[in-house]
Amino acid sequence: METKRICYVSALLLACCTAGKAQDQREEIRQYKGYELVWHDEFDMDGAPDPANWTFERGFVRNQEDQWYQEDNAFCEGGRLIIEGRKERFPNPEYGRYNDWRNREYVDYTSACVTTDRLHSWTYGRFVIRAKIPAFTGCWPAIWTLGQQYNGLYSWPHNGEIDIMEFYQIGGKPYILANACWGSTTSKYSPTWNTKTKPYSMFLAQDPEWGEKFHEWRMDWDENYIKLYLDDELLNVIPLASTVNPQTTFFNVEGYNPFRKPQYLLLNLALGGINGGSLSNTPFPCRYEIDYVRVYQKSASAVQSVADAVGADAVGAEGRILLSCPEGTSTEVCVADLSGREVWRGSVEAHGGPCVLPFRPAPGVYVVRTVVGGESVSSKVMVW
């Protein structure tokens, strides 16, 4: 009887501590001046990742990687998302379907890749992810984003990729990377990279237990730059003026900048493949642990402050320009940038409420001229 009472009290204390941790995490979510928290996952509920936030990749996917992606390898435990790499063997369910590296008779390794694809995506913001990575040869953990593919037109790399964090082998030595890529003129699937690497040995020199600890990766992404940080150390700055897709013979994507469009988030643990390294000495199972994922965007007050500074008469949110049009009329509209270059011309019909222009300009300040009944009105609009 005494043993049962002790077990009951211990279980009660454990439950209280777990609940307390979850409550503390919610209370301690950091706020940044000028930003609002627009989406996050603290992974406080044990079990499968929240299906409202995450979906899964399945099978052999990319980069000749050795793992088979499956849902079973991603689960929430103790307030963290665990992505577990395992060494396990079973027949490949898709054997015979492909004529490339994916046509393997057996699966020898499994892992998981969770994404917000078709659930959540964002244009600009501050992305903050706290995680502990498996810094072993053979492991290739990543925190990254991809642009949505529109009817297959803007496929990789023209849809853009941002690697907030990658850990993999270069020349047989481990590195931490901060990258972005977009299209090139070389070939359909050859990217243009902006890459910064830092040897893992540099982190171990500062702290021999670096790999046993959690660290915070951050991306600050706005209409001008992508800035990638690790524990508040700036690793890479990527100017968006340089990330424009060139004209090619395989895609009509000239002038398309993927980093002025929504990107969705991916968290994965790849194994082996073209960059992961040999799996012969990898300790299995290996765990990639994510404490939280938080997305902030500039608050309305911060955006308005910028608009006031540039003398804008109105603000267009998320790439949209809204106009006040008289009911039952057709309004002629001309939009030009501050240099006077016309970027759009057309007409809109008022059907009750504001008129939304049927195009999305890049973020910036524009002069919008409307003509109704021969009367012309100009205003300055900031689009963000």
Q: Are residues 294 and 327 in the same domain?
A: no
Structure confidence at residue 252 (pLDDT): 64
Least confident of 129-133, 252-256, 279-283, 288-292: 252-256
What's the total number of domains in the chain? 2
Phi, psi of 204 (to 5 degrees): -65, -30
- Average pLDDT over the chain reads 86
Residue 132 inside a domain? The answer is yes
At 283-306, the pLDDT tens digits run 999 999 999 999 999 987 566 655
Tell me the pLDDT band of 1, cut-offs 50, 70 and 90.
very low
Q: Are residues 243 and 230 in the same domain?
A: yes
At 86-112, the pLDDT tens digits run 999 999 999 999 999 999 999 999 999
At 366-383, the pLDDT tens digits run 888 888 777 788 878 877
At 202-227, the pLDDT tens digits run 999 999 999 999 999 999 999 999 99
Per-residue pLDDT at 323 exceeds 80: no
At 222-233, the pLDDT tens digits run 999 999 999 999
Residue 4 inside a domain? The answer is no
Residue 186 inside a domain? The answer is yes
pTM of the model: 0.78
47: domain range?
Answer: 29-298
Per-residue pLDDT at 126 exceeds 60: yes
Per-residue pLDDT at 266 exceeds 80: yes
Least confident of 7-11, 50-54, 75-79: 7-11
Residue 189 inside a domain? The answer is yes
Neighbouring CB atoms inside 10 A of 196's CB total 16
Q: Are residues 130 and 98 in the same domain?
A: yes
Neighbouring CB atoms inside 10 A of 112's CB total 28
Residue 17 inside a domain? The answer is no
| Section 112-138 average pLDDT | 97
Q: Which of 298, 322, 337 is the last residue of a domain?
A: 298
Q: Are residues 319 and 279 in the same domain?
A: no
Structure confidence at residue 16 (pLDDT): 40
Structure confidence at residue 375 (pLDDT): 79
Neighbouring CB atoms inside 10 A of 351's CB total 9
Looking only at the bridges linking them, the beta strands covering 314-316 and 67-69 are: unpaired
At 163-188, the pLDDT tens digits run 999 999 999 999 999 999 999 988 88
Percent of the chain with pLDDT over 70: 82
Task: Give the CA angle between residues 8, 12, 14 to the nearest 5°.
Answer: 115
What string of H, E and C letters represents the secondary structure of 220-278? EECCCEEEEEECCEEEEEEEHHHCCCCCCCCCCCCCCCHHHCCEEEEEEEEECHHHHCC
Q: Which of 248, 273, 298 is the last residue of a domain?
A: 298
Structure confidence at residue 8 (pLDDT): 36
Q: Are residues 199 and 320 in the same domain?
A: no
Residue 355 inside a domain? The answer is yes
Residue 3 inside a domain? The answer is no
- The CATH number of whichever domain residue 209 belongs to comes to 2.60.120.200
Greater confidence, 300 or 40?
40
- Residue 122 carries which DSSP code? B
Measured between alpha carbons, how far is 266 from 55 in angstroms, rounded to an integer? 9
- The CATH number of whichever domain residue 314 belongs to comes to 2.60.40
Greater confidence, 237 or 312?
237
Structure confidence at residue 15 (pLDDT): 39
| Section 51-63 average pLDDT | 98
Structure confidence at residue 343 (pLDDT): 83
Tell me the pLDDT band of 27, cut-offs 50, 70 and 90.
low
Q: Which of 273, 298, 323 is the last residue of a domain?
A: 298
